[in-house]
Structure 1
Amino acid sequence: MQKFTRRMLFTATAVGITIMAGLGSAAVAAERTLASIKSDGAIKIGVEGVFAPFSYRENGVIVGYDVDLAELMFKDLGVKPDFVDTQWSGIVPALLAGKFDIIMSSLSYTKERMAKVNFSIPYADSSLAMLVRAEDDGKIKSFDDMSGKPIAIKAGTPEEASMPKFNAQVEKAKGKGFGEVKVFDSEPMSILALNQGTVDGVISNMTNLGLVIKNAPGKYALVQKVAGSSLAGIGIRKDDEELRKYIDEQLLAASKSGKLAELQKKWFGVAFDMPAEIPVLE
């Protein structure tokens, strides 16, 4: 089961409406083959340039995980990635209109998007995770291990609304749910509570918590996928099947060589535990 993030929930409906309203009579972009991309010497990549650490501006230049990965993927093709900073709510229609060749910036799998575009295999993971103190690494491996223990969550998030369900699951498995669910106004306040020992776990998405680990090496550990998966792939037009196959091959090769994990550790502080296939959405 896929876990929907706030970013997905906020944009999925708007993207679907925009596509239906804006593309009824619009021309569909011509097929982009590897030969045509190679002839151009560049591949255009749609990104949201304010979404660190995937793609964001530093001294006026777009940097991030997407940038490093794109340079790795298209090195064998001999082309330069050209990043097109695009408003997120319009990024799928812009792809279909031919403004760029692919979408990166953590495009999560949704039924609405998959009906319009093809996806690569996963390249990033923003699933729900739990931050624990380093000394609890290996001791706390799931929500079940939080039975009787206090846990922190940020106010106003979808995860807060799901906590009664998670608590019921722990209670069913262990006979007792969470010791207490403490709700904080911000993630830094939740992490402060973890440092002070008033909670034993902090719930958030994996990319956020990975950055916490990156910025404080040796202090924390991460329990991944505590409540399903929220994976992201690279979006490609449905006609560009050759390009999709090339990207999948490059991602599999980078995963096998360990280079993908290296980039994830560089930008997120952790390596993602991801499947090598596109998820099936229920």
Structure 2
Amino acid sequence: MKFKTLMTSAMAGLMGLAMLGAAQAEDILDKVKAAGVLKVGTETAFAPFDFIDAGEHVGLNVDLFAEIGKELGVKIEWVTLPWDGVFPGLESGKFDMVAGPATITNARMERFRFTAPIAEATVALLKKTGDDSITKPEDIAGKPVGSGKATAQLAQVIEFGNTLSSPIEAKEYVSFNEAYADLAAGRVVAVANSFPNIAYVAQQRPETFQLIEPPFGVKTYFGFPGRPDPEYATLMDAIDAALAAIKADGRLSTIQKKWFGVEFDTPGKLDKANI
């Protein structure tokens, strides 16, 4: 009898935990809605996605998350920090998701849940205007090349460099602005970043920087990372639905054209099978 009672109690406890887990799965979206605020982590040195202009945080992410906020009925609260602190900040719960954005890779999908792509992220190179020693990506062989610390762009340029006649001398920077400053000063011969980012930089400062075409990286895309934990599932579902609505009615393409000068034909939600 005691054994049966213990088993019944144990089963009741397990069912209670299961019900608690189900309730917790709704907690993050419920908390966001209740607070009326979605906390979003990002860095502000990744133009044209996030950057500071005349003391104001601007960029594609600011515009796009304003639309996401409208869809969810909440305000956006920005939490800014260096890029190498963004993912740890997400995992420690400092904010609800990341604007970034981040390149969608299989390795990152092991740790995070990504939204559908919001722009292309194929990696290309930026050089100093008038540097005739570099006319194509392969010309960086054996030379110092900069990129952002802990970024997919850094990983790709190192991998690309290893295929050349001489490996590159990779230099890591906390922010891409620092990398661009070193490029302007001649401390590196090129900076590797996503095609839309450096196309924007070259467009803004043609007297200093020039885009090296074609891009050398594999075709990749940017998305917004969130946590894969069950309690975040409803929040990420809601953000995916918001992005789908924003894409369907043309708001996404309008924002892309504003910041890139072109719109990207981005696919639907990616998984490991189609990266």
TM-score by length of 1: 0.59
Counterpart CA distance in 1 for 2:97 and 2:272 is 21
Which of the numbers 208, 211, 229 marks the counterpart of 2:200?
211
Q: Tell me, yes or no, if the aligned pair for 1:207 and 1:268 is still in contact at 8 Å.
A: yes
Is the deviation greater in 120-129 or in 88-97? 120-129
Counterpart CA distance in 2 for 1:280 and 1:55 is 27
Measured after TM superposition, the shift of residue 130 of structure 1 is 9.1
Counterpart CA distance in 2 for 1:163 and 1:122 is 27
Which of the numbers 245, 250, 254 marks the counterpart of 1:253?
245
SS in 1 for 2:72: coil
Specify the alignment match of 2:64 in structure 1: 69
Q: Tell me, yes or no, if the aligned pair for 1:209 and 1:222 is still in contact at 8 Å.
A: no
Specify the alignment match of 1:20 in structure 2: none
Gaps of 5+ in 2: 1-23, 127-134, 146-155, 165-181, 187-191
Kindly tell me: are residues 43 and 164 of structure 1, through their superposed partners in 2, closer, same or farther at Cα, counting changes over 3 Å? closer
**Moved segments of 4+, more than 3 Å:** 29-33, 128-131, 150-166, 212-216, 220-227
SS in 2 for 1:53: coil
Q: Which amino acid aligns with 1:247?
A: I
Q: Tell me, yes or no, if the aligned pair for 1:74 and 1:80 is still in contact at 8 Å.
A: yes
Aligned ranges for residues 223-238 of structure 1 at < 5 Å? 227-238=217-228
Measured after TM superposition, the shift of residue 246 of structure 1 is 1.3
Map Cα deviations across residues 216-275 of structure 1 (whole Å, 9 max, x no partner). Answer: 9xxx99988775222121111123111111111122222222211111111122212221
SS in 2 for 1:273: coil
TM-score by length of 2: 0.60
Q: What is the identity percentage for the equivalent residue pairs of Structure 1 and Structure 2?
A: 31
Aligned ranges for residues 78-227 of structure 1 at < 5 Å? 78-128=73-123, 151=136, 156-157=144-145, 162=160, 205-211=194-200, 215=204, 227=217
Counterpart CA distance in 2 for 1:259 and 1:221 is 28
Q: Which amino acid aligns with 2:272?
A: V
Kindly tell me: are residues 268 and 165 of structure 1, through their superposed partners in 2, closer, same or farther at Cα, counting changes over 3 Å? same
Specify the alignment match of 1:276 in structure 2: 268
Counterpart CA distance in 1 for 2:158 and 2:85 is 29
Map Cα deviations across residues 39-73 of structure 1 (whole Å, 9 max, x no partner). Answer: 11111000012221111222333211111100011
Counterpart CA distance in 1 for 2:221 and 2:52 is 24
Specify the alignment match of 2:18 in structure 1: none
Counterpart CA distance in 2 for 1:273 and 1:60 is 32
Counterpart CA distance in 2 for 1:234 and 1:204 is 17
Which of the numbers 43, 50, 55 marks the counterpart of 2:50?
55
1:45 aligns with 2:37: no
Counterpart CA distance in 2 for 1:84 and 1:248 is 21
Which of the numbers 235, 241, 251 marks the counterpart of 1:243?
235
SS in 2 for 1:270: coil
